[in-house]
Every structure is written in C-alpha cells, then in structure tokens.
Amino acid sequence: MALAELTISAGEAALLNAFPPTEAGDAARAQIAADGLPNRRVEAFKWTDLRAALADGIPESDGSAGLIPACLQDALVLDFAPDGFGLEGEKDLGLIIETEDSLELEGAGPLATMAAGFAPRAVVLRVTQSQSRPVVLRRHPGAPMRVRLELDAGARLTLIDTGLATAGLSTGLLEIEIGSGAELVRYSLQNGDTQAIDLTHTSVDVADTGRYQAIALMFGGKLARAETHVTLAGEGASCLIHGAYLLSGHTHADMTTKVVHASPNGQTRELFKGAVQDRARGVFQGKILVERAAQKTDARQNHHALMLSEGAEIDAKPELEIYADDVQCAHGNTIGALDDQALFYMRQRGIPEAQAKSLLVEAFVTDVFDAIEHEGVREWFSELARTWLEASSS
C-alpha cells in the first residue's frame, strides 16, 4: 500500500536500515516496506502490537546473556552475540555443526521473516545419534539467532534456549525437523525488562512417531512473543507444549502456538498457565488444526491464567479447527482471580497475605514444570518462579 510507505514509523525506518545486505535481509526489508511492522490491525498481532512497541526506534541493547546454571555445566553452549556466533564446551559424536549463508525459510509469518533477515547466517545442527549432553542456545542482548536443527531417525536431543536481555531487540528463528521416532526435548527461558523486545519463531516438522516436547517460562519484556508452529506430519507423531508466563510491572508476553495434525494417530498435549499483575499483559493464542487425514488424533489444550491485579490484562484465543471425524479433542480456558476463600483460610492459619498469595500462585503454575524431565532444569525454573513470586508479593 503506497500510503503506508508515507507514514513509516521511526522503528520501521530503523529496521529497514538494520537488516544486513543478504538475501534474507533483503526479503525482510521488502516485507516491512510493503506491509509495515505487524500491528494491532493484523489479526495474529491484535494483542501484540510490534509497530507500537518499536514506535521510537530500536532500544539500545543492555543486560547479559546470563550464566549457565550448574545443572547444565556439561552442556555444549552455542552463543549468539551481536558480533557473531561462538561455541563453548565439548561436542559429542553424532552432532554436526555447520553454518549456512543462505537457507530457504521454513518458518512462516512476519516474525520468521524478520528473524531470518537479521541473522547474518544460519547455524545448522544435525543430530545423527542421540545426545546425552544438552545443547544450550544462548541469545545475547540485541543478537539475532537462526538455527536449523535436524534430528535423524531415532535421535534424541535436549535443547535449552535462553533470551535474557534487559533491553534491546533480540530475535530468534528455530527451524526444526524431527525424524522418524526421534525426540527433541526443549526448555526455553525468556526474561526481560521494560526495554527488551524479544521475538522468536519456531517451526517444527515431526515425522512419524517423532516427538517434540517443549516447556517454556516467560517473564516478558516491553514486548516478548514466542511463536511456535508445529506440524505433526507423520503418523503417530506427538507433541507436548507447556508454557508459564509470570508478568509484573509493565511487561508483556505472548505465547502463540499452532499445531497442525496432518496424519493419523497424532497426539498433542498443551498446558499453559499465567499469572499477571500490576499493569502487565499476557497473551495466549493457541490453535490446533486437525486435517481430514488426521484420524484418531488425540489433542488437548489447556490455558489457565490468574489476574493478580485490577490493572492486569490477559487475552486468550484458544482455537480448535477439526476436519477429521474420528478424533478426541478437548480444550479448557479460564481466567480468574485468586480464590478469596482459600486466601482467608490460609491467613486464618497465620500465613501472611503476601506469602499465602505466593503459595497459591506457585501451586497454580507448578504443574507446567512437572513435565520437565531434567531435574536440574525443573529446579532451576521452579526457583526462578519462586523468586518472581517473592519479589512480586513483597
């Protein structure tokens, strides 16, 4: 639209300059020149207005990439910094790491295009046999990441990815192919401050009896959005997607997922829990699409959120779209406040209000983490949640 080009925002102008002169960079530039940044008039971004968040330009990057917790000391760490990509730790047999200057885009949508556009090259991880050593993808403040991950048949990998910038625009694109009977177990952590914009897009393709299992914890930022598009392409493919968002202050976090069942006997388990207070905003958009061919699909989606303050906001859009006739699909979505009666009961026993609230919220979100098989990571995430609760209830 010619008019849109005339009213280009400072942020859009800054972005047009920021993309490198690569094929993907050019594609991203062309997209923004044509459509502008995704904003509230675009259905998929109606609650997460990227144009507004970037209205004043790209915030200066700040913060650190974070320390690798003790429980992951044996991990192979891939660092994505603004000035390049680095490796730390030992690499085992059966893991091949290469870089590619130009790769066809698997992910879809404006975030995928932007994230691909920023990344000077893609890091390609190929897993030919199961890995006992976890791989960490550590995104530094203001850094772009693009990772292509291929799991060969039967291979298993544990992946941890973190984005902890306190300020700046950080992007991530993960394009994942899970082979027959292979399994990816992924734990994601995002933490930001009110000057951090964190955008990630993950596209996953799962072959027959393969499995994608992902558990994410988000604390939000000025705007943080994690998109996941999973296609259960092969028969008997499955995915488990859990997410928790804990938001306070003026933060914003968006968990947007789409799972496509394209073959029979697939299984999806989704559980999302959120707790939002002050003037923070949580967004959940979850779509499950069951194609005609995907008979005997078993899909469940649950999203439950707590509003802890009057000024908080939670927007949820659960969607089931089913074209097969022999399926089991269920979803549940609730947004509520803490149970006053339970609070009074706890206070009557002598537990101060703030502590009672934090016990109740902890109990509310904790089942999101129950699926974490890695004991150290489970404890790490639970501890982060507890720290947030203590800080936010004091």
Partner 1 sequence: MAQKSLKDPLMLNINNLQVEVGGTPIIKGLTLQVPAGQVHAIMGPNGAGKSTLSYALTGRDGYEVVGGTATLNGEDLLDLAPEERAAKGLFLSFQYPLEIPGVPTLTFLRTALNAQRKARGEGEISVPDFMKLSRDVAKKLGVTPEMMKRPLNVGFSGGEKKRMEIYQMALLDPRFMILDETDSGLDIDALKVVSEGVNALRGPDKGMLVITHYQRLLDHIKPDRVHVLAGGRIVDSGGPELALALEADGYDRYKDAA
Smallest gap, in angstroms, from Cβ of residue 347 to partner 1? 4
Which 308-347 residues touch partner 1, going by CB under 8 A?
339-342, 344-347
| Residue 366 binds to partner 1 (criterion: CB under 8 A) | yes
| Residue 62 binds to partner 1 (criterion: CB under 8 A) | no
| Residue 31 binds to partner 1 (criterion: CB under 8 A) | no
The residue written with tokens 């029979």 in the block is 264
Q: Which H or E element spans position 114?
A: helix 110-118
Select from 297-305, 310-318, 358-366, 374-382 the region that touches partner 1 (CB under 8 A): 358-366
Number of other CB atoms surrounding residue 172 within 10 Å = 26
| Residue 379 binds to partner 1 (criterion: CB under 8 A) | no
CB 375 within 8 A of CB 347: no
Q: Which of 166, 132, 162 is nearest to 145 (CA)?
A: 162
Contact residue for partner 1 among 326, 348, 375, 394 (CB under 8 A) = 348
Quick one: 79 or 367, whose CB is closer to partner 1? 367
| Residue 355 binds to partner 1 (criterion: CB under 8 A) | yes
Smallest gap, in angstroms, from Cβ of residue 368 to partner 1? 11
Quick one: 278 or 367, whose CB is closer to partner 1? 367
| Residue 371 binds to partner 1 (criterion: CB under 8 A) | no
| Residue 394 binds to partner 1 (criterion: CB under 8 A) | no
Q: Which H or E element spans position 25?
A: helix 23-35
Residue type, 236: G
Quick one: 178 or 360, whose CB is closer to partner 1? 360
What single string gives the DSSP state of each residue in 127-173? Answer: ESS--SS-EEEEEPTT-EEEEEEEEPTT-EEEEEEEE--SEEEEEEE
Quick one: 92 or 339, whose CB is closer to partner 1? 339
Give the neighbor-by-neighbor strand order of the sheet with 238-247. Answer: 84-88, 76-81, 135-139, 156-163, 183-190, 211-218, 238-247, 267-276, 298-307, 328-336
Contact residue for partner 1 among 50, 65, 145, 360 (CB under 8 A) = 360
| Residue 353 binds to partner 1 (criterion: CB under 8 A) | yes
How far separated are the first and last CA of the chain, in Å rounded? 50
Q: Exposed (0-12), middle (13-18) or buried (19+): which is 375, by Cβ within 10 Å?
A: exposed
Binding site for partner 1 (CB under 8 A): 339-342, 344-353, 355-356, 359-360, 362-364, 366-367
